[in-house]
Structure 1
Amino acid sequence: MSAERREELAESVAEVRARVDAACRAAGREPSEVDVLAVTKTFPAVDAALLADLGMTLFAENREQEARAKVAEFTQLRPDSAARWHMVGQVQRNKARSVARWASVVESVDSPRLAEALRRASASALDAGERREPLDVLVQVGLDEREGRGGCPPEDVPELADTVAATEELRLRGVMAVAPLRGDAEVAFATLSTIAHRVRRDHPEAGVVSAGMSGDLERAIAHGSTRVRVGTALLGGRRLTSL
């Protein structure tokens, strides 16, 4: 854990927080309303440990195999950390049991079948003492079905939210979306804001809106995002070969 890398990350953390603060001020919001989720995919556990030393507590991965190993290593490096790990990538149902062992939050629930797989996995993990509390989940809203990036069709989100909220092993916390690669991000985030309002109206505890990444976090915050997922702006270019 070089001093040079720590300094590099410290500068990035300060820059990202300054961007979030400025975006919140421009939107007439309080910076405390928006969390920064550090997306550590392809980066080593030591980078996550350094970010934890700098005050970061929320980390995200998008591949179960990489995440499982990284979380275990991070736990050894920082056993007293209050870090919470989020799964933001698509989850195969046969990987649900493993995800439930390490993830505090799954942000990519996009179907009743996946919700049921995670419910069963959370129940097993709770019974085995591998979890202390139900699994928090977000419903992923599909904003562009042509891209194959996962996500529940917008018209089906309320029903899926109801399904999740009816379980004891899962806790509905809100919605997540990725802006389309093609198309107007402003329109996408505005659409997500409308959907999030509907979900929050039916389920007041589901107030999280996870939207915005390194390149578009300002626009997401302007449309009500409460959690931005930042990788490149914090950590730079990819460091590891995908596992």
Structure 2
Amino acid sequence: MTDRKSELAANLEQVEERISTACTAAGRKREEVTLIVVTKTYPASDVRLLAELGVRHVAENRDQDAAPKAAESAGLPISWHFVGQLQTNKVRSVASYADIVQSVDRAKLVTALSTAATGAGRELGCLIQVALDAGSGERGERGGVAPDGIEELAARVAGAPGLRLDGLMTVAPLVGPYEGRQREAFGRLVELSSRLRAAHPAANMVSAGMSADLEQAVAAGATHVRVGTAVLGVRPRLG
């Protein structure tokens, strides 16, 4: 085993232990939580090593990095998640490799994703990104729709050709009433997910929590956690 593969294996083991411990504390089964490894700034060679170590879900937040990395990783048994703010001029590219877009937050993006997915002959999973720091009709500091906009946007996704409504995603707010209160923020997302499932029963994904706060996300009921640094190491500065 190479040094890098050994490093990743050790890090994955530690993250696995954290998730398992959090699940036990919350009275949940380990299989209720899916690990998504966020590979941004790291090379396709790391994606290959992660796949060899059993990782099945990876995420990127910038198309210019993700597209070539996904191409280099073609054939690996992994699903690609796009988690960054997505501009409509990048949609066609993202729809060619992403399995799930976790950052759907406006009607214009739904239309563009639908056109791109149908053009590529693919079905694209979509999560509505919820901004818990946004007021009615606003978008969040880091993207996302205000909670009162979920229902309308979800209906658009559910009715759009080539798209599949999979659930909700959030990023712990840096401002507003949930600042520094990750557990409460993630609990709010789970409440919103329960309401969403009343109209869309299959939309059961709840993506929340990262390296620093995955335990709070698991405790709140998240089904997916997005972990980068704890698996891959501290990212180099982008120049």
Where on the TM-score scale, by shorter chain, does this alignment land: which range?
over 0.9
2:105 alignment partner in structure 1: 110
2:60 alignment partner in structure 1: 61
Distance (Å, rounded) in 2 between the aligned partners of 1:50 and 1:21: 22
Q: Determine which of 167, 173, 176 is the counterpart of 2:160.
A: 167
2:84 alignment partner in structure 1: 89
TM-score, scaled relative to structure 1 = 0.92
How many residues in Structure 1 have an aligned counterpart in Structure 2?
A: 231
| Residue pair 1:43, 1:240 contacting (<8 A) in 2 also | no
| Residue pair 2:183, 2:219 contacting (<8 A) in 1 also | no
2:182 partner amino acid = A
2:129 alignment partner in structure 1: 140
Distance (Å, rounded) in 2 between the aligned partners of 1:201 and 1:225: 17
Structure 1 window deviating more from structure 2 (187-196 vs 233-242): it is: 233-242
Structure 1 window deviating more from structure 2 (4-13 vs 147-156): it is: 147-156
| Residue pair 1:158, 1:198 contacting (<8 A) in 2 also | no
Give the 4+ runs in structure 1 shifted more than 2 A: 239-242
What do the CA deviations read for 1:40-92 (whole angstroms, capped 9, x no partner)? 000011011101000001000000111001111122xxx3x211111000110
1:94 partner amino acid = N
In structure 2, the CA distance between the partners of 1:234 and 1:97, relative to structure 1 (3 Å rule), is same
Uncovered stretches (5+) of structure 2, i.e. residues with no partner: none
2:17 partner amino acid = A
Identity among equivalent positions (%) equals 49
Uncovered stretches (5+) of structure 1, i.e. residues with no partner: none
SS in 2 for 1:144: coil
Q: 1:147 Cα shift?
A: 5.8
| Residue pair 1:175, 1:208 contacting (<8 A) in 2 also | yes
| Residue pair 1:44, 1:240 contacting (<8 A) in 2 also | no
TM-score, scaled relative to structure 2 = 0.93
In structure 2, the CA distance between the partners of 1:147 and 1:158, relative to structure 1 (3 Å rule), is closer
Q: Determine which of 155, 167, 186 is the counterpart of 2:148.
A: 155
| Residue pair 1:107, 1:137 contacting (<8 A) in 2 also | yes
| Residue pair 2:62, 2:84 contacting (<8 A) in 1 also | yes
Q: 1:241 Cα shift?
A: 4.0
Distance (Å, rounded) in 2 between the aligned partners of 1:198 and 1:165: 15
| Residue pair 1:59, 1:84 contacting (<8 A) in 2 also | yes
Distance (Å, rounded) in 2 between the aligned partners of 1:147 and 1:233: 26
SS in 1 for 2:211: coil
1:124 partner amino acid = G
Distance (Å, rounded) in 2 between the aligned partners of 1:26 and 1:240: 35
What do the CA deviations read for 1:120-142 (whole angstroms, capped 9, x no partner)? 1101111xxxx3xx100100001
Q: Determine which of 205, 208, 214 is the counterpart of 1:208.
A: 205
